[in-house]
Amino acid sequence: MRKIIPVIFVFLLFIDNSITGSVVFVKTPFLNNIMSWLSYLGLGWIQALLSVLFILAGVFIMKDEKMAAAGKKAVYTVVAAGILSQVIKHIIGRPRPKVMDALGLTLGPSITPGFDAFPSGHATSAFAFAYALCSFYPWMRYPLYAYAVLVSISRIYVGAHFPSDVFAGMVLGIWTGRIVTTKGMDELKVMLRRYSIPVGIAVLSIFIFFYNLGSAGLFDVDEAVYAEATREMIVTGDWITPQYNFTNRYDKPVFFYWLMASAYKVFGVTEFAARFWSAMFGVALTLMCYYLLRWIGYPTWGAITSLIFATSLEVIVLSHASITDMTLTFFITSSLFCFFLGYTCNSRDTSLKEVSPVTVSGRWWYWGFYLSTALAVLTKGPVGVALPAVIIFIFLILRGQLIQTLKNMHLISGAIIFLAVALPWYVIEIWINGWEYIDAFFIKHNVTRFTGVVSGHKGPVYYFIPVILLAFFPWSAFLPQAIYNYFPRLKQKGYIESKDSVILFSVIWFLVIFIFFSISRTKLPGYIAPLAPALAIMVGRLWDGYLNPEGEYSGRGALKYSFIFLIIIGIVIAAGSGFLTTFLNDSDTMLKQFQEPVNWGRGFYYISAVIASGLFLFILALWQHQRKIALGIMSGMVIVVSCLLFSYVIPIADKYLQSTLRDYSRIAANQMDTTDNLVVYGINKPSILFYAKRPATILLSSQRDKLTEVIESSGIAYIISKSSGIEYLTGHPDFYILNEQRGYTLAVNKRPDWLK
């Protein structure tokens, strides 16, 4: 039964809107009254009151200890279910149906009324109450569960919840009832010890990666082009070849578009849905970092590693972006983790076998490696198999186990899995589009990106050194010492301890990705995201040894150079953040671009103050020998900085960079007929098409003659452009400016009635 619960839940997510929208067709005055009363009876305090009445009846009227005990269990269950549901409600922050209709979908921690739909508190308390009493009186299960089901239905009927909210409440209520009524305190303590760390990691990572996920609009170019191409995939029904502006787009394979389309189907075509899978993969990667190390016998190291990964700035930013980096990072990491666990199961190193509590056969882990690699190839192409292959090859060569491990890797069955998953789409795509696809994808977006510069994204060979220092602050400060300490182990032959094997694998992982993208001619900060788990593992090992009184880095001065480097980097970043606002506000470049004074608010000042305060408290904690508190301060500092970033800085950036284009797109779409033409001139802004929800005629700034031809044509054309790009049209008899703002212009070639 447990296995089908996720299936039912996902199915309900897909039909939530359909069921909620259909309720209106069955509403009658009679049902309105009945459902309102049922909804009222489902309030948590009413279940608690009924439970107290059971206690009173059992003690004073019936003199029945069983009845009194049932009432007590019911009170405990209802209270526990109520607390759990309220906590989850405000962590998830799902809007109620009417709020979603008005404001769209967002998810993430919220205490705002109306953003507390998931799960249904009424369904949770009703089913918890029913389960508790039925555990004492099985004969009551039919009326009690019927009552709970009717309460749940009433919440959908009155428009307070979606079906998936109610189903989640039912499951939570039954689960809470089962835990409270059947588990003793000793068993509960065992469960807490077993699950408290992974649950805590999951809750923390959900908060970090989903915080304000859908609050800002999509940013050009990459976020918007993926979101628009996926929208067009749904519109056209062409699930093979991605399209942008209804023209084939060959930049990336198809899997990321499929994932985003699934989120659109569940959550609607929104910013939150576009970014959903990036955030989910951020959560999954955090848990994977913990479980890899826990499964090979190092749970504390795993917990520290997951904390470091989740509080790395680049990971947080990429998890809030609708681009492929987190998806590729997830599948590359999954492939490498699966390989290492398979290697652990079959390793000749007895230490690995002794510490590993993994019971899954090495064959299954290797099959997971092949599957994950195939999905990485479907996400971004050959790099998805090339990077893991090089990392594993070097690791096995250094360990002297290449031939033996290859024999254990089930190459034939693995190749079948890899080809069955990765190959069919490529075959179909090449069959449909032939050389055009091969030239555009394999040659331009793979070979040429490595050997040449594409789209102007170039950088020196040391490009990623400052990127790593900033993107993975504060943990990047410990990276030099980690590499210095662990690099000599690359030369070790024969037997090594399990923790050294993990470290060796992580060092190779980090260096391969770092060197590969450093020598690549095309560079972007997000390219190195797949090395983040390796960095977290290496730095996590340093901190694990530092926090353990008997650890190899437990001495007072063991990490002193890293701490000094951290303070230096922190001061530079804090000072830079403080000066950045002044620079941006007073910048002539900003004034010229936006055609108005720019006010970036106090977000960067707050970030500067938090970093400075965090460094001070960190030093104070170290001075007082409070090492665990020092680690918590660094992690908390990054979490606060990320919240400030997505609460103050990103909204301002969205205002100046995107909001005008978004408004112009929607205004034009609302005014246009199906035969009218939307023209985007001299700018590469895919967000215009996403928010207009229609194709556009895209003209380069060099195509003035074509723009003039469109303006002078008999059809109606709405033009969105940079103001500076169309100044030459001022005074043209067929050119009417509707609005100018922040350096952009919305114009039309036929005078609208409201301008006459």
For residues 721-738, average pLDDT: 84
Going from the C-alpha of 211 to that of each of 25, 220, 260, 379, 607, the distances in angstroms are 36, 21, 19, 25, 17
For residues 137-160, average pLDDT: 89
Same domain for 291 and 253?
Answer: yes
The answer to whether 329 and 281 have CB atoms below 8 angstroms apart is yes
How many domains are there within the chain? 3
| Residue 102 CB-density burial (10 A; 0-12 exposed, 13-18 middle, 19+ buried) | exposed
Range scoring the smallest mean pLDDT among 326-340, 384-398, 429-443, 589-603: 589-603
Query: CA 260, CA 327: separation in Å to the nearest integer?
Result: 11
Between 21 and 402, where is the model more confident?
Answer: 402
The answer to whether 659 and 699 have CB atoms below 8 angstroms apart is no
For residues 648-661, average pLDDT: 88
Q: What is the pLDDT of residue 354?
A: 43
Query: CA 249, CA 240: separation in Å to the nearest integer?
Result: 11
Range scoring the smallest mean pLDDT among 184-198, 287-301, 447-461: 184-198
Same domain for 337 and 481?
Answer: yes
Torsion of CA 487, 488, 491, 492, to 10 degrees: -110
Q: For residue 160, what is the DSSP state?
A: S
Same domain for 419 and 323?
Answer: yes
Q: Tell me if residue 276 falls in helix, strand or coil.
A: helix
Same domain for 176 and 141?
Answer: yes
Going from the C-alpha of 755 to that of each of 476, 478, 622, 736, the distances in angstroms are 58, 63, 68, 9
Q: How confident is the model at residue 572 (pLDDT cuts 50, 70, 90)?
A: confident
Residue 190 lies in a domain: no
Query: CA 591, CA 619: separation in Å to the nearest integer?
Result: 41
Q: How confident is the model at residue 248 (pLDDT cuts 50, 70, 90)?
A: very high
- The tens digit of pLDDT for each residue in 452-469 reads 777 667 778 888 899 999
678 bridge partner residues: 718
Q: How confident is the model at residue 755 (pLDDT cuts 50, 70, 90)?
A: low
Q: Phi and psi at residue 458, in whole multiples of 5°? A: -115, 170
Same domain for 413 and 487?
Answer: yes
For residues 408-426, average pLDDT: 93
547: its two tokens: 């926090």
Q: What is the pLDDT of residue 108?
A: 65
Q: Phi and psi at residue 699, in whole multiples of 5°? A: -115, 140
Between 602 and 412, where is the model more confident?
Answer: 412
Q: Tell me if residue 254 falls in helix, strand or coil.
A: coil
**What is the average pLDDT score of the chain?**
85
Q: For the chain, first and last CA: distance in Å? A: 68
Q: What is the pLDDT of residue 418?
A: 95
For residues 480-485, average pLDDT: 83
Between 563 and 505, where is the model more confident?
Answer: 505
Tabulate helix, strand, coil % of the chain (nearest 5). Answer: 70, 5, 25
For residues 233-240, average pLDDT: 93
Q: What is the pLDDT of residue 481?
A: 86
Asked if the model's pLDDT at residue 492 lies above 80, the reply is no
Those residues whose C-beta lies under 8 Å from the C-beta of residue 14, and which sit 6 or more positions away, are: 265, 266
Q: What is the pLDDT of residue 321?
A: 94
The answer to whether 117 and 38 have CB atoms below 8 angstroms apart is no
For residues 527-533, average pLDDT: 94
For residues 708-734, average pLDDT: 85
Name residue, tokens 């943990």.
475
Same domain for 324 and 222?
Answer: yes
Same domain for 162 and 28?
Answer: yes
Query: CA 386, CA 601: separation in Å to the nearest integer?
Result: 44
Those residues whose C-beta lies under 8 Å from the C-beta of residue 48, and which sit 6 or more positions away, are: 75, 78, 79, 82
The answer to whether 120 and 152 have CB atoms below 8 angstroms apart is yes
Query: CA 403, CA 399: separation in Å to the nearest integer?
Result: 11
Q: How confident is the model at residue 635 (pLDDT cuts 50, 70, 90)?
A: very high
Q: What is the pLDDT of residue 497?
A: 65
- Residue 151, domain CATH: 1.20.144.10
For residues 325-335, average pLDDT: 96
Amino acid (one-letter) located at 420: A
Q: How confident is the model at residue 595 (pLDDT cuts 50, 70, 90)?
A: low
Same domain for 169 and 269?
Answer: no
224: its two tokens: 């918007």
Nearest to 476 by CA among 578, 556, 394, 572: 572
Amino acid (one-letter) located at 676: D
The answer to whether 532 and 309 have CB atoms below 8 angstroms apart is yes
Query: CA 385, CA 387: separation in Å to the nearest integer?
Result: 6
Q: What is the pLDDT of residue 103?
A: 66
Q: For residue 61, what is the DSSP state?
A: I
Same domain for 554 and 666?
Answer: no
For residues 672-689, average pLDDT: 90
Q: Phi and psi at residue 739, in whole multiples of 5°? A: -165, 145
CA dihedral (454, 458, 460, 464) positive or negative: negative
Query: CA 178, CA 69: separation in Å to the nearest integer?
Result: 15
Query: CA 464, CA 479: separation in Å to the nearest integer?
Result: 13
For residue 501, what are the domain limits?
209-558
Q: What is the pLDDT of residue 351?
A: 46
Q: What is the pLDDT of residue 312?
A: 93
Residue 332 lies in a domain: yes
Residue 590 lies in a domain: no
Q: How confident is the model at residue 66 (pLDDT cuts 50, 70, 90)?
A: confident
- The tens digit of pLDDT for each residue in 344-381 reads 876 544 444 444 444 556 788 999 999 999 999 999 99
Query: CA 482, CA 468: separation in Å to the nearest integer?
Result: 14
Name residue, tokens 């959903």.
276
Q: What is the pLDDT of residue 493?
A: 58
Question: Pick from 532, 558, 584: which residue ends a domain?
Answer: 558
**The model's pTM:** 0.84
Question: Pick from 147, 182, 217: which residue ends a domain?
Answer: 182
- The tens digit of pLDDT for each residue in 77-128 reads 888 888 888 888 877 878 888 877 766 666 666 666 777 888 898 999 999 9
Same domain for 322 and 411?
Answer: yes
Same domain for 164 and 308?
Answer: no
Going from the C-alpha of 196 to that of each of 88, 200, 638, the distances in angstroms are 15, 6, 22
Asked if the model's pLDDT at residue 551 lies above 80, the reply is no
Asked if the model's pLDDT at residue 40 lies above 50, the reply is yes
Query: CA 572, CA 575: separation in Å to the nearest integer?
Result: 5
Query: CA 176, CA 749: separation in Å to the nearest integer?
Result: 64
Nearest to 329 by CA among 257, 379, 264: 379
For residues 266-277, average pLDDT: 89
Residue 569 lies in a domain: no
Residue 568 lies in a domain: no
Residue 585 lies in a domain: no
The answer to whether 389 and 411 have CB atoms below 8 angstroms apart is no
Q: What is the pLDDT of residue 622?
A: 84
